[in-house]
Structure formats: structure tokens, C-alpha cells
Structure 1
Amino acid sequence: MMYKKYTAVVLAVLVLAAEANTVNKVSPVALEAAPKIDGWGESANVNEYVDNTLHMLIPFMQNNGLDPMALPDVVEGFEVRPLLITYSAWLKITNGRMTGLVNMQRSGDQMVHYFAKMVRSRIELQFTDLRFDYNYLVQVMNLGPTGGIVATLSRFVIVVDVLIDFNNDEIHLQEFSMNDIGRLRVRFTGNILTDWLVNPVLNVFIRIFDTIIIKVVEVNIRNAVVAVIGILNHNIAEIISTLESIN
């Protein structure tokens, strides 16, 4: 029946994303795990399948520069006023990287919806205990303290909404977003900053994190998702043919 093919392809997207180099191979397990739903305009809860396949995404992230993830160098100017005089200063952060993206779990119910020869799947994943490491240099009043910055983020949620259109056998990314960004904690390592520098430097780093770093993380994850969808679209005819032969 047609609904089996639709369900299997949606579920196969998760597996194939983890095995992007073998997208032309579809396991019968995906079909066997599909919920049994008849008719159009129906929905299925795929929580169990998502829970059981998330670990397959870990090698994909590790092999595609997502964990660890390289982060950009940034230079940001700011002002300090230790006494009665305001001084110009700047913070330079380098050699940044993020780790912990492999700490993921399902966020809420994961549903697959069937309608008019199309399937829409909205996957929400929560990532926890993320760590951001940087080297820093501060330049102010002929002072140039250097050291490290270790920032930890409690969580964020990634939403991926995918539409599979069997009218033309194409997969479309309907939505990609990052939300529910949790609490950020920051500590300095190495040289101890002068007391009057701690808060200004901390504030500058938090501003950089909110406006640049977290945006880079979001874009990098989105680019990986788009790349996988491109691979799947290139091979979708063969994927569907394989699934139909299984069915």
C-alpha cells in the first residue's frame, strides 16, 4: 500500500542522514518500523523510531565537522573606565571550537503527517551540555593579558521540518530553526584578568556569542541538513524503487 512507502521514506531520511555516503542503500528495517496507517490526512507518532535511531547520527556529525565544530576568530572593540578616564580596548578570540553536539535527544513528540501524496515530518531535537573553547587576547592601556575562555551552554533545540512530495519525488526543507537556547556560563582560564577588566570582557564575549557564535553554529547545522537533502534528492528515485521492491 502507498502509505507504507511514504512512511518508510520519511523514516529512511533519518538513517540516510547518518549514512550519507551510502544513500543508495535502504534497509528493510525502516519499512518494518513504519506505523500502520490507512487513508489520507492521517498522522503517526514516530517517537520510538527517532529514539532508536538518533545514535546513528553521531558518526555523521563527527565525520562532517559538526562535533567538534570549528568556530570563527572574532575581534571586538569596547571601552573601559577603570578610574576617571575612558580607554579604548579590544578583545580578540581565536582557535574556537564547540563540542557536545552528540549530546542529543528527542524534544517532544515527533510526528509524520500524510496528505495528498505528500508526507510532512517535523523533527525537534534537543542538544545539551555544549562546550565552547577559545583563546583570548585583551589589549588595553599597554596591557595584553592572554588566556582561555570556556563557555558552557545548557541546551538548544533544533527544528527540522521536511516535506516529501511524491507527486514529483522531491524532498523540500520547509523550516529549519534554532530555539529554546538555554543558560550560558563563562569562565576565564590562564592569566587572571584585572578586576576592572573582568565584567567588560565578559560582556563583550556574551555579545559575540549571542550575535556571531550561536548564529555560526545554526548555519553550520543547517548547511549539513541541506547537503543531506541534496544527496537524498539526487538518489530519491532509486530509494523509492528499492522501497517499492521491498513492499
Structure 2
Amino acid sequence: MLLIPVLLVTFSLCYGNSLNSEPLQSPDQVLASNIKQWIGPNELEIIKPNITSQKGGIEIRINVIVDLVLGLLQKIIVKSGFDPLKLEDEVIKLQPTGTVTLTDGWLYNISTINRYDDVVIRVSAAEKKVSLSLPISFDSIGFTYIYDTKYLLLNIKGGVEGKISDIRIDMVFSFDTCNSTFAVDKFSLQDTGDFTIEFTGNELTDWLVNAMSNAIAAVVQPIIINVIETFVKTAADSIVEIINNFIHSI
């Protein structure tokens, strides 16, 4: 049965050789350079207990396979220079008059990518389509900046550290058996996570801490979420392109 191996190739990229290679510049290059082989008959044995029959089709849970590949992907992310990841400088306004300039920003722990629920392949005979749901999460994304705050007559410099916990993204891939095409059917941010922030280097008054915290959170959290979404979406689009090229080469 070709359909299951075709879908499983998405989650069986062989990254081993790349751990000794030079860092690459983009997620699609990382993925494209590391597809070596898809899972074989022996590996398929481990998913047999996770196959259930449904009316009009079947469901297959492939958590074991995905956990293995995500573990390898975590190493690739670090090796390829995406963890940590440089952030652009930001200038944030403080009300009624003032600014917080953020420089030397870094984003950490993109490599904590994992799944937060079952990864399920659904085969529908009626729709002639196979779908794969992939619930992705990031345990704790951290960031650091150097801040320079100018507010009224004050000019304060120090460090800022923060994190966003439990970012969740749902993706659904599909394989259309009529035109033999793999696609991303759904890409949805389910939870932007819990945002925390801490200032270092100076003792700040409560009112200034609150003003800076609110202003930074309003700007930095959407920036980090966008970086994560772009990273995952780029990787997903690259996987789709790789799989389609693989399918059409058969």
C-alpha cells in the first residue's frame, strides 16, 4: 500500500549525516539537504498496534515515529544555527513620553519543538484522501535583550529576560489520491502561550517596571510568535515540496 509510506516520508527524514555538516541558512535548505530515505517495512511494524478501523476508513497513530524524528530535528535546529536565533533591534514608545530601545536580542529554545497530542493518519475511502494531523508545541521559548530606557528625566540601562511557555500550533497535511499531491490543509496557532519578563542590572520602581513590562510585552510577544510561525510554516512548506517531488519521481 503506497499511501501510508508516502505520508510517513514526511516524518522519516534522515538527519543523521547532517549533524556533521556546515550550518545552513534557512529552514527549507536544512530540510531539503537532509531527506535521505523513507521508513521501511520493518519500521512500519511498530505502528500496527495503533491502527484502528473507523466507518469508511482507518486511523493510525504514529507517535513513536514522530517522537524519534522530532528528537533528531531538535539536534538539527541547534547544529544549523537556529537556536539561538538573532532578533532585530526594537524601539518601543512609553506613555506619556519616553522610549525603550531593545538591542542585542536573542531567541532561545526553538529546539524544544515537540508534539502535545497524538499524531494521526486518517484514511478516507469515500473522499479518496489521506490526512495527517500534527499538533506541535514549544515548551519554553526564551529571549534576552539589552534595554536603554529614556523616560522623563530618567535614563536607565540593563538587561531584560523573558519567556513564552506552551506555544501550540496545529497542522493538517493531506494526500489527494486523485492527483497524487501532498498539501498543507491547515496551519493554525492554537495558543500563544504564557508570557513572563524580568529586568536585570538595575533596581526599578514598580511603576516603571509595569510601564516597561506592558510596553515590551505588547511588542515583543507578537514578534516572537511571528518568528515561530514563520519557522514552522517554512519547514512545513518545504516538507510538502520535498514530498511532492518524491512522489512525482516514482
> Who is 2:77 aligned against?
61
Residue aligned with 1:70, SS: strand
- Are 1:72 and 2:88 an aligned pair? yes
Distance 1:26 1:190 in 2: 51
Distance 1:69 1:60 in 2: 14
- Are 1:148 and 2:145 an aligned pair? no
- Are 1:88 and 2:97 an aligned pair? yes
* CA positional deviation for 1:221: 2.3
Q: 1:183 aligns with which of 174, 182, 194?
A: 194
Aligned CA RMSD, in angstroms, stands at 2.6
- Are 1:15 and 2:12 an aligned pair? yes
Residue aligned with 1:108, SS: coil
- Are 1:166 and 2:183 an aligned pair? no
* CA positional deviation for 1:188: 0.7
Post-superposition Cα deviations, 1:97-148, rounded to whole Å, max 9, x if no partner, equal 2212222432122211112442100111222122111121112235332221
Distance 2:38 2:110 in 1: 26
Q: 1:215 aligns with which of 222, 226, 229?
A: 226
* CA positional deviation for 1:48: 2.6
Residues 24, 235 of structure 1: 8 Å contact kept: no
TM-score scaled by structure 2?
0.79
Q: Kindly tell me the number of residue pairs found equivalent between the two proteins.
A: 229
Q: 2:106 aligns with which of 77, 97, 100?
A: 97
TM-score scaled by structure 1?
0.80
Q: 2:137 aligns with which of 106, 126, 130?
A: 126
Structure 1 residues 140 and 156: CA distance shift in structure 2, 3 A: same
Structure 1 residues 27 and 211: CA distance shift in structure 2, 3 A: closer
Distance 1:136 1:22 in 2: 39
* CA positional deviation for 1:212: 2.8
Structure 1 residues 27 and 50: CA distance shift in structure 2, 3 A: closer
Letter in 1 for 2:13: L
Q: Which ranges in structure 1 are unaligned for 5 or more consecutive residues?
A: 80-86, 242-247
Q: Which ranges in structure 2 are unaligned for 5 or more consecutive residues?
A: 16-30
Post-superposition Cα deviations, 1:73-93, rounded to whole Å, max 9, x if no partner, equal 2212121xxxxxxx5101121
* CA positional deviation for 1:34: 4.9
Residues 53, 59 of structure 2: 8 Å contact kept: no
Residues 61, 120 of structure 2: 8 Å contact kept: yes
